[in-house]
Structure 1
Amino acid sequence: MDDLVQPLTLQEEVPPKEIKILATLVAKLNLADFQNAIPVIRELRVSNETSDRFVSATLTLSSAPEVFKSKIWRIDEIAADSFQVIPGLDLVLDGPFLNRLTEAEMSTFTFVLEAEDKDRESGRKEVARLEQVVDLLPRNQWGGLRHIPDMTAAFVQPNDAAVERLLKQAAELLRLSDKPSALDGYEGGPKRAWQLASAVWGAVARMKLDYALPPASFEQSGQKIRSPSQIADSGLATCLDLTLLFCAALEQMGLNPVIVFTYGHAFAGLWLKPEEFTTALVDDVTAVRKRVKLQELVLFETTLITHNSIPPFSYAVEMGTKQVAEEAESVFEMLLDIRRARLQRIKPLASSEAQIARVAVAESAEAPSFLVEEGIGIADDNIEVQVEDLSKLDPADRLGRWQRKLLDLSLRNNLLNFKMGKRALKLESPDPGAFEDIIASGQALKLLTRPDLMDGTDPRERALYEQREREDGVLEARVAIHGSDVIPTEIKSLLKSGKLSTKAMPAGRFNELHQDYVCSCTLRVGRELLAILPDDLVIVTALDNVLNSSTGHMEEEPILSVAFSRSTVDGLNLETIDPSDAMKNFVHNMNFKKGAGFSAVAALDAQRFAVTV
């Protein structure tokens, strides 16, 4: 009998097929992230594992507490056994709400997917729901290196009221030391940069600050940051507060500061030359040591400024250098180059309010008196390079000079028959004409590496940033057309017998009407934008549902993108114009065929029309 007993095998339970909302959101959100175009939604998709088809669907996003305006995505159809990527993920965040936050809060983001259901009285039914929690941080809450380390640069606030008063004190110290009081950045060379930093050290020493212990593991999990005005008002600061204060003052006087993070600690530094690293974040300590050894980079321990007996700036530099030496006990984590971060368009936090910073304006008997140090041992290599002034040559002489240098004027000369290759260096210049004039004048040029501007591992979105900042000087507008809901698909006529005749509209006629409707809508939007704005050019992109041949589904894509110039629009006779033919007057992208209708096109790039002043 025992031989007949078969062991029971547990069958794995197969999860039921369902329609799901898949979303990737940021874990933390604060005002610095919002101002620097960190997208709240990284990815949003709808996955339909069922055999059902859903039509006229809407995906709604709301939050509690409400930190943004509710957003609705309209989806014509969700096919069976398919997934759909949802575009247009920008949210209109409530900036003032984030600015008012004084403590961290949790906000619940709720996605609700509804579809048409004729069996219900309301005609709609909920088919999927997703809730995710996002931590809302107060404006002065730094998220730590685990969050987005580049965003630390946003907490360096050179425009704070306390920084201006601090620089006034630094200028006074320079005057007392019989040195020029001008805060002239790198114009005086490396030794002058050292002297300016020494003056800032002396000015902060006059504030008589006390040290405040930061939270444990602050460099990873973050902490609340005291602004320069708050430091001046309370007289308390952590190592990171002091570092950000020094960096703000150095940046405001035209120097390039850096922040060094070691395990459980942070301190400041500055470039003695107008240099910067090729990336904002540097995790290779050997690269830092090399720059320090070459006297191009100076690091100084900021917490020494809170000691009862404040040492001179040269001693703070000595202590800062030891922390990145090979025999250092502290573990180097990373260096943040503020100048490089600014090149990557990480802006400082806007001031929450006008604050009166109580920085000492008169030296008391107890206040330490620091004269500016000379910077002994710092090479002063601010040597002017003598170049030949070619600007005095007339164009004919200049052309002859170039011809003599070229020697070979045939197509064998690579300078005349240029081909891009590995030995060529591509330069980005907003004004090629001005660049050519500089080269022709013989002026010495310094080539800079291109900053990683919102690409690669940068979590920000360039399109989102430019949409908010309009830094390219060109306004872009997008218009959802929904032409199939407007253009009729039937032709109705009244017969002699009095009966109503209904015929299907020919595809060619429908497409022509659709083209005129899209072009007229786009033209109207462009004309009205130019009427209410001082801009001379706007870009309007029309969106409508077109067939995606790779998925077989109708998707909302750009079908027309036009750059409307004020002068051309003003010259049109709108009473007799044909809207489709009028597009020939403007730079535009449109792919239209009478038999097939519209096809998706690329939206015009605003940088193509940007004017650099």
Structure 2
Amino acid sequence: MDKSLFKFNIDYKNEYDYVTYQTSLIYKRINNNFKNNYYSLFKHIEIENVSEDDYNDLTLHFNFNSDLIKINDISIAYINHQEKVIIDKIDPLIEASKLYKLVEPIELTLNISLLNVNKEVLYETSIFISLFPFCLPKITSVDYSLFSSFVTPNDYLVNKVVIEASEDLKKINNETSFLAYQNKNINNIRAEMMAIFNCLYRYNIAYSNPPASFSFSQKIRIPQEVLKSHKGTCIDLAILYCACLENIGLHPILIITKDHSYAGAFLDEFNHFNDFVTDNASLIYNMTTGKLNSIELVECTYFTNDNLADYNLATKEAIKETLNNNEGFKAIDINRAHRSFYKPIPTFNENEEIDFKIKINGANNNLELIDTENNGKIILKSSSKKDKFSYWEKKLLDLSFKNKLINLKFNSSALQVLNYSSQNFLTYLLNNSSFKVEIK
């Protein structure tokens, strides 16, 4: 073996876990692209022939020191001298159940060999990969969207909480059904959030340190584990609360800062962030208070057994946290992430069984029927009722040049104001009824 013949450049993740693996598979299926992606164990392998000879009928052979991962050999037709080939379709066969059930990190060694047609080794190298338990994901420090995978709204124990919470809802507003955004009054939505909060308090959950870990990362307890063990940290409790809110049809928000975590929900079905994650704490604060009032935030440690379970105090504390303690602030739009390729991880059912099949919504085969009673007839309906909502709805949906919101001409009746911070200007407008522009 002459190592001067070839150069290898291997782009891979040296730390991997079940959550990242699941996201990689779903990303491929949703995008119908079987090339390796950001979440894949391998992104690509680049092989450069630095010799003066051409090589044909080569084989790239992979050998792990564990049966947890296997990669089939890859055939390479040829690599001419002074040329490169890039292999970006590397499909590891991973034992999903074994990866999911890891308790502590393990270290794997992978030997990669380039063989000629006679199975002689032309080049060989080794890499090391650390596999982590799903509750100890390393990539979440880079991609906060992956925290949404721990929010498991369809867990059978989360369903149990929601069923029990209907009794709490009845005490609050004399309703027993969770209607989520079918409620036209946001206070009814807040009442449902309060009912979940009060029900979780009865579970006698203790605020507890995270499980022991021999890594630098904090272990996360998923909702099922919190409900079984009756203990959790601030992030465990926030994830549990998000799961319950999403179960009843609300769109939850998970807030993570440097030293704390709490949760909330959008009070309007059509509100969402521009991306899966935002770090704009002032935006969240303004959406929670003042004129917008489109988000409800909740301090989840207030439903632990050493607190008074006062929902109103919990909301005020969360607002205070957003205003004052927002170092490292991240707000995750859980529902939007779940509608993309960040899916909830599987959990055990009542029979202690688990299904690792990746479930992605397929085509809709239910045809929505239309009313054919007046088929062929044109029925004119008029209405003189035009409220402000209808007026602005029409304005915002009008994309023609007659709409001044998108085709504003600066003439003598318009004033163009330049400012150095649009966010500060918006905050000022939200908190003040009037302002004055002085021309100097």
2:75: which partner in 1? 74
Deviation at 1:70, TM superposition (A): 2.9
Tell me if 1:34 matches 2:34: no
Measure the CA separation in 1 of the matches of 2:167 and 2:288: 29
SS of the residue corresponding to residue 103 of structure 2 reads: coil
2:106: which partner in 1? 105
- Answer yes or no: is the 8 Å Cα contact 1:68–1:92 preserved in 2: yes
SS of the residue corresponding to residue 346 of structure 2 reads: coil
1:279: which partner in 2? 275
- Answer yes or no: is the 8 Å Cα contact 2:183–2:189 preserved in 1: yes
Deviation at 1:257, TM superposition (A): 0.4
- Consecutive unaligned residues of structure 2, counting only runs of 5 or more, are 25-38, 353-370, 383-398, 402-440
SS of the residue corresponding to residue 314 of structure 1 reads: helix
Deviation at 1:217, TM superposition (A): 13
Bigger RCO (CA 8 Å, 6+ sep): 2
Deviation at 1:63, TM superposition (A): 1.9
Deviation at 1:169, TM superposition (A): 1.8
Tell me if 1:246 matches 2:253: no
1:20: which partner in 2? 7
Matches within 5 A, 1:175-574: 175-177=170-172, 179-189=174-184, 190-214=186-210, 222-274=217-269, 275-293=271-289, 294-306=292-304, 308-325=306-323, 328-352=324-348, 354=350, 395=376, 397=378
| Superimposed CA distance per residue, residues 553-612 of structure 1 (whole angstroms, 9 cap, x where no aligned partner) | xxxxxxxxxxxxxxxxxxxxxxxxxxxxxxxxxxxxxxxxxxxxxxxxxxxxxxxxxxxx
Measure the CA separation in 2 of the matches of 1:335 and 1:353: 30
| Superimposed CA distance per residue, residues 158-201 of structure 1 (whole angstroms, 9 cap, x where no aligned partner) | 12222111112210112234521101211113211100100011
- Answer yes or no: is the 8 Å Cα contact 2:210–2:220 preserved in 1: no
CA spacing shift, 1:398–1:95, aligned 2, 3 Å = same
1:131: which partner in 2? 126
Measure the CA separation in 1 of the matches of 2:88 and 2:43: 11
Measure the CA separation in 1 of the matches of 2:225 and 2:210: 16
Tell me which moved more, 244-253 or 291-300: 291-300
- Higher strand residue share: 1
Deviation at 1:278, TM superposition (A): 2.1
Measure the CA separation in 1 of the matches of 2:218 and 2:246: 23
CA spacing shift, 1:139–1:241, aligned 2, 3 Å = same
Measure the CA separation in 2 of the matches of 1:272 and 1:221: 37
Deviation at 1:315, TM superposition (A): 0.6
Aligned equivalent of 1:165, options 140, 148, 160: 160
SS of the residue corresponding to residue 73 of structure 2 reads: strand
1:505: which partner in 2? none
- Answer yes or no: is the 8 Å Cα contact 1:270–1:297 preserved in 2: yes
Measure the CA separation in 1 of the matches of 2:152 and 2:351: 13
Measure the CA separation in 1 of the matches of 2:313 and 2:95: 47
CA spacing shift, 1:178–1:396, aligned 2, 3 Å = closer
Deviation at 1:229, TM superposition (A): 2.6
Measure the CA separation in 2 of the matches of 1:143 and 1:172: 40
- Answer yes or no: is the 8 Å Cα contact 2:148–2:334 preserved in 1: yes
| Superimposed CA distance per residue, residues 459-489 of structure 1 (whole angstroms, 9 cap, x where no aligned partner) | xxxxxxxxxxxxxxxxxxxxxxxxxxxxxxx
| Superimposed CA distance per residue, residues 489-513 of structure 1 (whole angstroms, 9 cap, x where no aligned partner) | xxxxxxxxxxxxxxxxxxxxxxxxx
Deviation at 1:215, TM superposition (A): 8.4
CA spacing shift, 1:312–1:217, aligned 2, 3 Å = farther
CA spacing shift, 1:239–1:208, aligned 2, 3 Å = same
SS of the residue corresponding to residue 74 of structure 2 reads: strand
| Superimposed CA distance per residue, residues 428-480 of structure 1 (whole angstroms, 9 cap, x where no aligned partner) | xxxxxxxxxxxxxxxxxxxxxxxxxxxxxxxxxxxxxxxxxxxxxxxxxxxxx
- Answer yes or no: is the 8 Å Cα contact 1:285–1:332 preserved in 2: no
AA aligned to 2:331 is: L
Deviation at 1:54, TM superposition (A): 1.8
Deviation at 1:398, TM superposition (A): 7.5
CA spacing shift, 1:224–1:28, aligned 2, 3 Å = same
Larger radius of gyration: 1
AA aligned to 2:187 is: K
Deviation at 1:221, TM superposition (A): 5.8
2:150: which partner in 1? 155
Deviation at 1:307, TM superposition (A): 5.1
CA spacing shift, 1:65–1:104, aligned 2, 3 Å = same
Measure the CA separation in 2 of the matches of 1:227 and 1:29: 19
Measure the CA separation in 1 of the matches of 2:236 and 2:284: 22
Measure the CA separation in 1 of the matches of 2:84 and 2:12: 19
AA aligned to 1:84 is: V
| Superimposed CA distance per residue, residues 24-47 of structure 1 (whole angstroms, 9 cap, x where no aligned partner) | 112322222222223111121111
AA aligned to 2:41 is: V
| Superimposed CA distance per residue, residues 394-431 of structure 1 (whole angstroms, 9 cap, x where no aligned partner) | 556489x9xxxxxxxxxxxxxxxxxxx998xxxxxxxx
2:417: which partner in 1? none
SS of the residue corresponding to residue 132 of structure 1 reads: strand
Measure the CA separation in 2 of the matches of 1:99 and 1:171: 33
SS of the residue corresponding to residue 35 of structure 1 reads: helix
CA spacing shift, 1:183–1:394, aligned 2, 3 Å = same
1:83: which partner in 2? 84
- Answer yes or no: is the 8 Å Cα contact 2:115–2:123 preserved in 1: yes
Give the structure-1-normalised TM-score. Answer: 0.53
Identity of aligned residues (%): 22
CA spacing shift, 1:188–1:40, aligned 2, 3 Å = same
- Answer yes or no: is the 8 Å Cα contact 2:173–2:191 preserved in 1: no
AA aligned to 2:71 is: S
Deviation at 1:17, TM superposition (A): 4.4
- Answer yes or no: is the 8 Å Cα contact 1:324–1:332 preserved in 2: no
Tell me if 1:92 matches 2:93: yes
- Consecutive unaligned residues of structure 1, counting only runs of 5 or more, are 1-15, 117-122, 357-389, 402-420, 424-613
Measure the CA separation in 2 of the matches of 1:291 and 1:221: 35
CA spacing shift, 1:329–1:70, aligned 2, 3 Å = closer
- Answer yes or no: is the 8 Å Cα contact 1:212–1:236 preserved in 2: yes
Measure the CA separation in 2 of the matches of 1:149 and 1:143: 11
